[in-house]
Amino acid sequence: MSHPIPLVPFEERAHKALADERLQQALKVATTKFIVHRQEALSLLPDADGLRQRGRAIRERTIAHLDECLIQLESAVQANGGHVHWAQDEVEACRIIVGLLQERQARLVVKSKSMATEEIGLNHALQAAAIEAVETDLGEWIVQLAGETPSHIVAPAVHKTKEQVAELFEKQVGRPVGTDIPALTKIARAQLREKFLAADAAISGVNFAIAETGTLVLVTNEGNGRLASSLPRTHIAVMGLEKVIPTWDDLPALLTLLTRSATGQIITSYVTCVTGPRRPGEADGPEELHLVILDNGRTRILENEYRESLYCIRCGACANACPVYLKIGGHAYGGVYSGPIGAVLTPLLQGMEHFGALPHASSLCGACKDACPVRIDLPRMLLALRAQEVEDKRPPVWERLLFRLYAWGTSHPVIYRLGARLGGLLAWPFARNGWMGRLPVPIVSRWTTKRDFPAPAARPFHARWAEIEREAVPPPSKDESR
Amino acid sequence: MATTQTNAREAILARIRAHLGKRLDESVLEPAHPSDAPAYALPAPGTTPAARFAAALEKVGGHPHRAQNGAEARRILLNLVAERKVQRAILLDAPLLHDLEILSALQQAGVEVLTIAAGDGPAGDLSAAERANLRAAATAADLCISSADYAIAESGTLVLPARRGFPRAAPVLPPAHVALVRESQIVPHLEGLIPQLKAALKGNGSRWGTSCLMFTTGPSRTADIEQTLTIGVHGPGDMDVILVADQNPED
Ligand code: SF4
């Protein structure tokens, strides 16, 4: 039931994205806007870098005391009348959630944006149990209607045009709707409002869970998080276990780092801090509140040098800053999390076998680390994962032999010269303006499918060097060299 | 189920403890430098909290208003009601709204007002039917009128704790929300508010004083279709805040 493993390899997905000019245009508009707004919002602070250090320190302290924080969170949620469930993996998580819904005979569920439920493939599990689940974040709803997955942490439907959205909505309401964006938004409001009022339960993510009071913080701009935690009689919140923070005093720094880094807002339109279900005398709020604490590979990450990937607060700034993301978009990553943090987390959470190529989807330029509000060293981890991938699958015998042969050849001048000339001759028919594109030769083609290769020079460097020396530099006379 | 749950809990905690026990090489995991940098912008010199709140709210697409006294506040509110052709309004409970006699002002203007009383005396719960009625009324209302416990100058944010008389969804369901706030309720920034909130909501050391603390900043917004900013998705498209100057004798 987990997030599906993509059927086509990363290279192919990336190629497809690279050929999609409209996608690249949309990505450019979106990420440029995010980058500019982020810059502005951070520059308002007297010491933005200091605040990032502070944010990092909070995350470091939290993760270092993760067990205590989670136990405190659990007892505080329970003291408020909420229920806590622990899930080791996606199967357990889906079983718990589907079980809770079935016990309550829930038929319709509204969802408020949650990456964790994408990660556990909850929508498939709900579908299998014949429970209708409706995404209520506008972008997520569009993506759901299209049968796709989000392509950006903050802007899930960045890859869709308004014409495509109109087409999807037309099917939904059964009449032509036009492409005016405010009008489309109104249609979504009306459709989703009905769902909110009719829903038996709400499922949401959690941006921060405050251990000291058992408070779940939901950060949205549309207000769907607020409605989800107010209207249906059951609210199930799903959090990755790293989402906990110790106290209310830790909230302002992390919250404003999140919103400033994500969209350049000082705060989002709605920040909803849920501390338990409805209390007697209150006119709304759920009768029951359930918190699902999800491991799903996270405790494994704690063990080693990838620990700091759990500091992530999911702002998406690393993706916006990434030149590779800018070109290929979120879908090419194939997992739930895209951009540089996705290239680290997806292989760690979902396995190197299927996602070993992702750490290579980076130029290691360091822009992601510079953008990260908690200064996660993404390039370091990308490199470490690459090394691990190479370790995991040692090159085949022929490749190792070839490199041994190459080493031998380059250390024997006569062989080397011969090889260089031969190379130039062999490559000559394929070279165009000094570059070779795709080569039709089996082994070599593996290099040239992904990058153009410089054609060997017609005359090797060592030959030219000897010539230049002969022509231009007269040998020093014995007197001068004294 | 119960045993799987205990097992899952124990297994997760055991893994965390085992893995945290391993010290990581500091050269690999760069430790954070201690820092006490503020989580807010320093207010521009010479500006008042009220002016900063108004500017911040305006910036996010909300509509700030300033009133010198209660009479002016009522006038502004009634203007908005007329402009937006409000027929039905939901009025949440707050001392300021009582003091300013908002209810009678609305009724005199011919607006059908649903009040949600804080309820007095020992806590009686609302029945499911009563709650369903309230929800239906809030859904049908053209406007929600409330106060706020605090307002944050830096971001133009209202701080609204859910309680008896203040349902979580009431300010979000109607297409418009007007809040009346005393200038003395404005604090400079969220970070400075936290100790106050803790003092107000932690009470006698028992559980947190509200089931839902809500921060609301401007109208409901999205940019999910072609990165075009659009307001009024799930919540109100119009968010007005009337800042009322602090009480003076002529009020
Ligand atoms: S790694 Fe850093 S920049 Fe990327 S999403 Fe996480 S917190 Fe944001």
Chain A: give the shortest CA distance to residue B166, in Å.
7
The predicted pLDDT at position B149 comes to 96
Which three-class secondary structure string do you get for B55-68? Answer: HHHHHCCCEEEEEC
A369 phi, psi to nearest 5 deg: -65, -40
Cβ–ligand 1 contact at A372 (below 6 Å): yes
CA torsion sign for B181, B185, B186, B190 is negative
* pLDDT interval class at B2 (50, 70, 90): low
Which tokens go with A250?
Answer: 């830790």
User: Could you tell me if A287 lies within 8 Å of chain B, comparing CB atoms?
Assistant: no
- A-contacting residues in B 4-43 (Cβ below 8 Å): 4-5, 8-9, 11-13, 15-17, 19-20, 22, 24-25, 28-42
User: Could you tell me if A302 lies within 8 Å of chain B, comparing CB atoms?
Assistant: yes
User: Who among A33, A47, A252 is closest to B227 (CB)?
Assistant: A33
CA dist B137 and A215 (Å) reads 29
Residues of A in contact with B234 (CB under 8 A): 136, 189, 192-193, 196, 222-224, 226-227
Length of chain B, in residues: 251
Residue B230: pLDDT over 90: yes
Which tokens go with A346?
Answer: 């997806």
From A374, A380, A381, give the residue whose CB has the most ligand 1 atoms within 8 Å, as the site to mutate: A374
Residue B32: pLDDT over 50: yes
Which tokens go with B96?
Answer: 């300021």
Long-range Cβ pairs for the range B31-36 (8 Å, 24+)? B31/A60, B32/A53, B32/A54, B32/A56, B32/A57, B32/A59, B32/A60, B32/A375, B33/A53, B33/A57, B34/A53, B34/A57, B35/A47, B35/A50, B35/A51, B35/A53, B35/A54, B35/A57, B36/A50, B36/A54
CA dist A359 and A381 (Å) reads 8
Tracing tokens 């924080």 back to the chain, one arrives at A69
User: Could you tell me if A190 lies within 8 Å of chain B, comparing CB atoms?
Assistant: no
The predicted pLDDT at position A400 comes to 67
Name the range with the highest mean pLDDT among A458-467, B15-24, B37-46: B37-46
CA dist A305 and B88 (Å) reads 59
* pLDDT interval class at B166 (50, 70, 90): very high
CA dist B161 and B156 (Å) reads 17
The predicted pLDDT at position A441 comes to 65
- A-contacting residues in B 93-112 (Cβ below 8 Å): none
Residue B19: pLDDT over 60: yes
The predicted pLDDT at position B205 comes to 58
Nearest CA among A159, A129, A131 for reference residue A143:
A159
Q: Is the pTM of this model over 0.90?
A: no
Which tokens go with A267?
Answer: 């705060």
Nearest CA among A383, A389, A245, A359 for reference residue A305:
A383
Residues of B in contact with A223 (CB under 8 A): 172, 220, 233-235
* pLDDT interval class at B206 (50, 70, 90): low
B151 burial (CB, 10 Å; 0-12 / 13-18 / 19+) is buried
B168 with A226: Cβ contact below 8 A: yes
Domains of chain B: residue spans and CATH: 49-244 (3.40.50.10420)
Where do the DSSP E strands lie in chain B? 63-67, 88-91, 112-115, 143-146, 150-152, 157-161, 176-182, 186-187, 212-216, 221-222, 230-231, 238-244
- B-contacting residues in A 81-110 (Cβ below 8 Å): 85-88, 92, 99
Q: Which helix (H) or strand (E) holds A345?
A: helix A339-350
CA dist B117 and B124 (Å) reads 12
Q: How many CA atoms lie within 13 A of B158 on its CB side?
A: 29
CA dist B218 and B237 (Å) reads 9
Nearest CA to ligand 1 atom 8: A315
- Complex-level ipTM: 0.94
The Å distance, Cα A434 to ligand 1 centre, comes to: 40
Q: How many CA atoms lie within 13 A of B27 on its CB side?
A: 0
User: Could you tell me if B168 lies within 8 Å of chain A, comparing CB atoms?
Assistant: yes
User: Could you tell me if B229 lies within 8 Å of chain A, comparing CB atoms?
Assistant: no
Q: Is B102 or B204 the better-scoring residue by pLDDT? A: B102
User: Could you tell me if B146 lies within 8 Å of chain A, comparing CB atoms?
Assistant: no
CA torsion sign for A444, A445, A446, A448 is positive
User: Who among A51, A54, A88 is closest to B11 (CB)?
Assistant: A88
CA dist A222 and A226 (Å) reads 9
> Longest C-alpha distance within chain A, in Å?
105
Exposure string for A219-255, b = 16+ CB within 10 A, e = fewer: bbbbbbbbbbbbbbbbbbbbbbbbbbbbebebbbbbb
* pLDDT interval class at B3 (50, 70, 90): low
Nearest CA among A235, A153, A239 for reference residue A201:
A235
Cβ–ligand 1 contact at A376 (below 6 Å): yes
Which tokens go with A184?
Answer: 């489309």
| Contacts of A362 by beta carbon, 8 Å cutoff, 6+ apart | A322, A324, A340, A343, A368, A378, A379, A382
Chain B: give the shortest CA distance to residue A53, in Å.
6
Q: Is A151 or B205 the better-scoring residue by pLDDT? A: A151
A185 with B222: Cβ contact below 8 A: yes
Q: Which residues of chain A have pLDDT under 70?
A: 1-5, 7, 393-401, 403, 423-428, 430, 437-453, 458, 473-482
The predicted pLDDT at position A448 comes to 65
What does pLDDT average to over chain B? 90
The predicted pLDDT at position A312 comes to 97
CA dist A348 and A400 (Å) reads 28
Cβ–ligand 1 contact at A373 (below 6 Å): yes
CA dist B59 and A40 (Å) reads 13
Cβ–ligand 1 contact at A310 (below 6 Å): no
Packing angle of the helix pair A162-173, A138-145 (nearest 10 deg): 70
Per domain, the residue ranges of chain A are 10-301, 397-481
Q: Which residue of A has its CA nearest to B122?
A: A281
Query: Cα B159 vs. chain centroid, distance in angstroms?
Result: 4
Nearest CA among A255, A265, A332 for reference residue A55:
A255
The class that CATH gives domain A10-301 is alpha beta
User: Could you tell me if B220 lies within 8 Å of chain A, comparing CB atoms?
Assistant: yes
Cβ–ligand 1 contact at A240 (below 6 Å): no
Other CB atoms within 10 Å distance of the CB of residue B236: 26
Chain A: give the shortest CA distance to residue B248, in Å.
33
B12 with A293: Cβ contact below 8 A: yes
The predicted pLDDT at position A461 comes to 75
CA torsion sign for A334, A296, A258, A311 is negative
Contact A5, A352 (CB under 8 A): no
Which tokens go with B113?
Answer: 């007002």
Residues of A in contact with B134 (CB under 8 A): 283-284
The predicted pLDDT at position B124 comes to 74
In A66-180, alpha helices (H): 66-79, 90-103, 115-119, 122-128, 138-145, 162-173
Nearest CA among A204, A108, A158 for reference residue A326:
A158
The predicted pLDDT at position A240 comes to 97
The Å distance, Cα A338 to ligand 1 centre, comes to: 10
Least confident span in A444-448, B115-119, B166-170: A444-448
Rounded to an integer, the average pLDDT of B155-174 is 95
Residue B30: pLDDT over 80: no
**Spatial strand order in the sheet of A215-220:** A244-245, A208-210, A215-220, A270-274, B212-216, B157-161, B150-152, B186-187
Residues of B in contact with A268 (CB under 8 A): 217
B37 with A138: Cβ contact below 8 A: no
Backbone conformation region of residue A211, classed left if phi is above 0, alpha if psi is from -120 to 50, else beta: alpha
Q: Which residue of A has its CA nearest to B210?
A: A275
Nearest CA among A111, A127, A90, A98 for reference residue A1:
A90
